[in-house]
């Protein structure tokens, strides 16, 4: 029996990325204003440019992570990433040497995790997924005997 379940990056993770970008933009804006009050115009313009860059990142980065998807099918997983340049990666259970579920402070509060697959060619990270899905992936793709 072949089970195919398709998921996308969690909307909570996208909100968390927007929050990070927004906080960075606010800090850059505050630096720009404070440098402008000290009449350091070159540095003020540089800080304003960083603020504008962070505001753009608040839109672009979540769009990129919003396009992450994965498809579980039998004993393999297909991961698709990228905003403009899409990459598809297929990992068989036999290629996986180990898995780890990582959760930072903000991810724990939001119920999210990052699943890291250790393969022969290196690490593959699947970020911003629900913890229940992460545990299911860990159990399903864990190598035999581990």
For 87-138, what is each residue's pLDDT tens digit? Answer: 788 888 888 888 899 998 888 888 888 889 898 888 888 888 888 888 887 8
**Which of the listed residues 20, 44, 65 is the one where a domain comes to its end?**
65
For residue 41, being part of any structural domain is answered with: yes
For residue 146, being part of any structural domain is answered with: no
Into how many domains does the chain fold? 2
**Which of the listed residues 46, 65, 84 is the one where a domain comes to its end?**
65
**Which of the listed residues 43, 65, 87 is the one where a domain comes to its end?**
65
Q: Are residues 119 and 132 in the same domain?
A: yes
**CB 17, CB 139: distance < 8 Å:** no
CA distance 48 to 44: 6
| pLDDT (tens digit per residue) in 36-71 | 666 777 777 777 777 777 777 766 666 666 566 677
Q: Are residues 75 and 134 in the same domain?
A: yes
Q: Are residues 103 and 54 in the same domain?
A: no
Q: Are residues 28 and 53 in the same domain?
A: yes
CA atoms within 13 A on the CB side of 79: 17
C-alpha to C-alpha distances, 100 to 29, 32, 54, nearest whole angstrom:
38, 41, 31
pTM above 0.75, yes or no: no
Which of these, 44, 51, 49, 45, lies nearest to 28 by C-alpha position? 51
Which of these, 72, 83, 86, lies nearest to 134 by C-alpha position? 72
Question: Domain range for residue 84?
Answer: 4-8+69-141
């Amino acid at each position: 029996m072949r089970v195919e379940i398709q998921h996308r990056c969690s909307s909570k993770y996208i909100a968390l990325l927007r929050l990070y970008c927004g906080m960075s933009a606010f800090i850059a804006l505050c630096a720009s204003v404070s440098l402008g009050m000290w009449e350091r115009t070159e540095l003020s313009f540089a800080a304003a440019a960083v603020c504008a860059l962070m505001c753009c990142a608040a839109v672009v980065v979540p769009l990129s992570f919003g396009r992450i998807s994965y498809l579980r099918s039998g004993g393999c997983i297909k991961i698709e990433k990228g905003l403009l340049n899409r990459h598809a990666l297929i990992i068989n259970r036999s290629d996986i040497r180990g898995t780890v579920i990582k959760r930072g402070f903000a991810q724990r509060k939001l119920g999210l995790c990052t699943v890291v697959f250790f393969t022969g060619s290196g690490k593959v990270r699947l970020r911003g997924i629900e913890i229940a899905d992460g545990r299911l992936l860990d159990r399903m793709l864990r190598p035999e005997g581990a």
